[in-house]
Amino acid sequence: MFDSLLFELMLVVLIGILSQWTAWKFRMPAIVVMSVAGLLVGPIFGLINPKESMGDLFGPIITFAVAIILFEGSLNLDFKEIKGFSKPIARIVTVGAFIAWIAGALAAHYLAGLSWAVAFVIGGLFIVTGPTVILPLLRQAKLKPRPAAILKWESIVVDPFGALLAVFAFEFIKFLNSQVTLNALLLFFAASIFAVLLGWGAARVIGSAFERGGIPEFLKAPVLFAVVLFTFVFADEIMHETGLLAVTAMGMTMANMRMTSMHDIRQFKENISVLLISGIFVMLTASLNPQILIEIFNLNIILYVLAMLVTVRPLSIWLATINTELNIREKILIGWIAPRGIVALTVSGYFATILLDNGYKDAELLTALTFALVFSTVVLHGFSIGFLAKKLNLTTTDESGVLLVGGTRFAAELAQSVKETGNDVLLIDQSWAGLSHARKLGLNSYVGDILSEQIDYHLDLTPYRYILAMTKTDTYNAHICSDFAPHLGSNNLYQTVFHVGNEANEFTITGGQSLFSPAISIYDLEERMNAGHGIRKTVITKQYSYTQYLRERDDKLILLYILRADGTIEFFTPRIEPQAFAGDAIIALTSPVKTIERVKERLDGVNGETSISYEKVEDLFTREEKQVKPVIPGDAPLSAK
């Protein structure tokens, strides 16, 4: 319909990014939204056909995108992160992946009718699940730690190797079919070793240059982008298909170099790869022939997809996890959840072209087969993981874990109070120095940007029901609430009020609720902490009601949260003040006057003593400041329940 290539490129990028935003906004799998969008503008309405419009450029663009996507996946393979996992993850990514490859190839040959070469190539490719589809599902389903960790690390570890296994399968099948000689096969393996060494060397050189300051900050992302493409093309020119191995080796090497500039590298990866994934996926689906959409409903393809869903995946998981600590419920869940994602579809398009060029005519079905498996697994697994996990009792639905963002003294003290209630707590800040108070108190902490995609790779966020954004940058707090609203819901997102402007509004412009009653900015909270205010716990009893507590509180008291008798937490907001009942406890920020009054009460009742030593007085004040004191009517230490 449109003859302008520039218009088509603009539309591809625009549709891809809008699809990503729509998926985030409405909590839908991004790949589903991008698939539907690409199909609508491509084969259904015929608005664009990137493959025809770009001509000879279409293949190289897809190839470059695949190289970047694989580099992205391998850049997350920090072996330190997976070293602590026990047998299940090791078995699944080795024995399980091998079984899935063989079983998937058999299914592709006997059910989908593909030749052995194409079947083994696609079988190797379909062992991948991919973090881009798994991580959003895990956050949505709130699985228990063990099944969540296994699914997460399987997707990260196996993701880069699916394409490489497909490459080796392709070369080996050609050798068995006498299309290449033994010398040619050995040459391929030699070229593969060279590709690994090239990727390793490129990573060491660029990593060293980054660490020594040989490359300025503003050039790091462009230089890395150029080196990745150079490494891929150079290896591929020496021996076709080895470029994928080179960029994977490069990413793995950089991931394990313990570079201080790794954050900058991952920022590059996030910005570039999200744009590429969005655009390339729309290009692939928009370029589909309408005939392919009809072929998806072919009985052979339907049987193949069903076999992958209910036979190949469960079989590989059950056999791989024999004699491991996984229970039956966990095996059922992990054996069902295996959504294929963007890597599978983009790389399959790459291999479809190679196989067709080598005379394998049945490779025409590859795109339809891949699209059918990707779409069905993403939809079925995406909409069933929560239901199945609940039925199997593998969710953490009753948790009141709190994730606090912002490294201040008040945040650390608040986190300490939450920890003493028995709930999970984590403090995040972008600065190591900002977490000094948290480290002194022995709290779980993490240095990083919570808005970064990498947070999902390195932290399990499922135990945390609430997010409290309390940094000293109000707009950053607002962005946190906006970003996590589709996943946690605005009712579980809080931020300290802006320290300028109208502080009486409960809801910010992004939907997060203002913290505490009355609302107070993080600057004012820090000032109070420095002035000697402390976090205290008061237990509500039948004799000491919540009404009496409110009547007797001083005007400087800040209500923080209620600890319910069952251990759950509810935060106070300016607009909604939850009621407390007997057995509940009120946690509040109180003034030093309250501390002095409590000490006086204790001085009056210290075994009827008429005189008391200075050391005794000092001890009482110390115990009061730490909130570790004997239980008195209406008052209790934070650790009590």
**What does the DSSP assignment read for 300-313?**
HHHHHHHHIIIIIH
The verdict on 455 and 500 lying in the same domain is: yes
Q: Which among 334, 340, 338 has a CA at the least distance from the CA of 373?
A: 340
Q: What sections of 499-613 are H helices per DSSP?
A: 522-530, 546-552, 592-604
- Residue with token string 């692939």: 284
Whether residue 487 sits in one domain with residue 342: no
Domain assignment present for residue 364? The answer is: yes
Query: Domain for residue 455, yes or no?
Result: yes
Q: Please give the tally of structural domains in the chain.
A: 2
Residues 427 and 573 in one domain: yes
Residues 426 and 448 in one domain: yes
Q: Are residues 387 and 407 in the same domain?
A: no
- pLDDT in the model for residue 632: 38
- Domain holding 273, by residue range, is 56-391
Query: For residue 26, is it within any domain?
Result: no
Q: Give SS3 for 58.
A: helix
Residues 111 and 245 grouped into a single domain: yes
Residue 50, in any domain of the structure: no
**CATH number of the domain that 440 lies in?**
3.40.50.720
The CA-CA-CA angle for residues 526, 529, 530, to 5°, reads: 90
- List, in order, residues 6 or more apart from 3 with CB less than 8 Å away: none
Residues 367, 343 share a domain: yes
In a domain, 509, yes or no: yes
Please list the ranges in the chain whose pLDDT falls under 50.
Answer: 1, 501-509, 610-611, 614, 617, 620, 624-641
Are 169 and 300 in the same domain? yes
Structure tokens at 312: 């190949």
391, 424, 448 - which closes a domain: 391
Amino acid at position 522, single letter: I
- pLDDT tens readout for residues 476-523: 888 888 888 877 777 889 998 887 644 444 444 455 788 898 888 899
Strand-by-strand arrangement of the 493-495 sheet: 445-447, 425-429, 401-405, 464-469, 493-495, 513-514
Residue at 217 is within a domain: yes
The domain boundary, picked from 372, 391, 410, lies at: 391
- Domain boundary (391, 416, 444) is at 391
* Residue 48 included in any domain: no
- Angle made by CA atoms 271, 196, 206, in degrees to the nearest 5: 50
Same domain for 265 and 351? yes
29 within some domain: no
Query: Same domain, yes or no, for 384 and 406?
Result: no
The domain that contains 232 carries what CATH number? 1.20.1530.10
201 and 311 assigned to the same domain: yes
How far is Cα 634 from Cα 165, in angstroms, rounded to an integer? 66
C-beta pairs of 494-500 under 8 Å, 24+ apart in sequence = 494/466, 494/467, 494/468, 494/469, 494/571, 494/573, 495/468, 495/469, 495/470, 496/469, 496/470, 496/520, 496/521, 496/522, 496/525, 497/521, 498/474, 499/474, 499/523, 499/524
pLDDT at 270: 61
Same-domain check for residues 327 and 281? yes
pTM to 2 decimal places = 0.66
- Residue 450, SS3? coil
Report the alpha-carbon distance of residue 329 to residue 480 in Å, rounded: 34
**Any alpha helices (H) in 79-215, and if so which ranges?**
79-82, 87-91, 97-110, 116-125, 131-141, 145-176, 182-212
